[in-house]
Amino acid sequence: MKGPGAGLVWIKFDHLPADAPPQVVGHTRQTRPQTTGNVHCQDLLLENRGSPGGQGVLVETPESLVALLSEQEQGVDRVALA
Protein backbone atom coordinates (compact mmCIF):
# COMPACT_ATOMS: atom_id res chain seq x y z
CA MET A 1 0.00 0.00 0.00
CA LYS A 2 1.47 3.37 -0.99
CA GLY A 3 -1.63 5.54 -0.58
CA PRO A 4 -2.41 8.20 2.02
CA GLY A 5 -2.18 5.73 4.94
CA ALA A 6 1.12 4.17 3.84
CA GLY A 7 3.21 5.88 6.47
CA LEU A 8 6.24 8.12 6.40
CA VAL A 9 8.62 5.93 4.39
CA TRP A 10 6.32 4.49 1.69
CA ILE A 11 3.78 7.21 0.96
CA LYS A 12 3.82 8.24 -2.70
CA PHE A 13 4.43 11.84 -3.83
CA ASP A 14 0.87 12.07 -5.18
CA HIS A 15 -0.53 11.69 -1.65
CA LEU A 16 1.65 14.25 0.13
CA PRO A 17 -0.23 17.51 0.83
CA ALA A 18 1.15 20.79 -0.51
CA ASP A 19 1.55 22.04 3.07
CA ALA A 20 3.80 19.11 4.07
CA PRO A 21 7.17 20.05 5.57
CA PRO A 22 9.93 20.83 3.03
CA GLN A 23 11.38 17.57 1.70
CA VAL A 24 12.77 15.69 -1.30
CA VAL A 25 11.10 12.34 -1.92
CA GLY A 26 11.15 9.37 -4.29
CA HIS A 27 8.87 6.32 -4.65
CA THR A 28 6.83 7.94 -7.44
CA ARG A 29 8.25 7.65 -10.96
CA GLN A 30 8.47 10.89 -12.94
CA THR A 31 10.05 11.91 -16.24
CA ARG A 32 11.12 15.29 -14.76
CA PRO A 33 11.30 16.57 -11.17
CA GLN A 34 7.89 17.53 -9.78
CA THR A 35 7.05 20.03 -7.04
CA THR A 36 3.93 20.46 -4.94
CA GLY A 37 4.23 23.13 -2.27
CA ASN A 38 7.43 22.37 -0.37
CA VAL A 39 7.66 18.74 -1.56
CA HIS A 40 9.97 17.85 -4.46
CA CYS A 41 9.98 14.44 -6.19
CA GLN A 42 13.26 13.27 -7.71
CA ASP A 43 12.45 9.68 -8.79
CA LEU A 44 13.55 9.91 -12.48
CA LEU A 45 15.65 6.86 -13.29
CA LEU A 46 13.11 4.08 -13.88
CA GLU A 47 10.60 6.19 -15.81
CA ASN A 48 13.36 7.38 -18.16
CA ARG A 49 15.12 4.01 -18.49
CA GLY A 50 15.65 3.12 -22.12
CA SER A 51 15.28 6.68 -23.35
CA PRO A 52 18.24 8.84 -24.33
CA GLY A 53 18.91 11.46 -21.68
CA GLY A 54 16.39 11.96 -18.94
CA GLN A 55 18.74 11.38 -16.03
CA GLY A 56 18.75 13.87 -13.22
CA VAL A 57 19.83 14.57 -9.70
CA LEU A 58 18.68 17.12 -7.12
CA VAL A 59 21.38 19.10 -5.35
CA GLU A 60 20.61 20.96 -2.13
CA THR A 61 22.78 23.66 -0.60
CA PRO A 62 21.92 25.94 2.34
CA GLU A 63 20.82 28.57 -0.22
CA SER A 64 19.02 26.55 -2.91
CA LEU A 65 17.64 23.33 -4.35
CA VAL A 66 18.37 22.70 -8.02
CA ALA A 67 17.83 19.85 -10.45
CA LEU A 68 20.67 18.96 -12.80
CA LEU A 69 19.04 17.25 -15.79
CA SER A 70 20.84 15.48 -18.61
CA GLU A 71 19.03 15.93 -21.91
CA GLN A 72 19.99 14.08 -25.09
CA GLU A 73 22.48 16.15 -27.12
CA GLN A 74 21.64 19.27 -25.06
CA GLY A 75 24.09 18.82 -22.20
CA VAL A 76 23.05 19.44 -18.62
CA ASP A 77 20.19 21.79 -17.77
CA ARG A 78 20.09 23.47 -14.34
CA VAL A 79 16.55 24.03 -13.01
CA ALA A 80 15.97 25.97 -9.77
CA LEU A 81 13.37 24.27 -7.58
CA ALA A 82 13.61 26.36 -4.42
pLDDT tens-place values along the chain, 82 residues long: 566 665 556 678 888 888 888 888 888 889 899 999 989 999 888 888 877 777 888 999 999 999 999 877 778 889 999 8
Query: Of all helices (H) and strands (E), which one includes residue 45?
Result: helix 45-48
Record the pTM: 0.78
Handedness of CA 5, 10, 13, 16 (dihedral sign): positive
CA angle 18, 22, 26 (to 5 degrees): 85
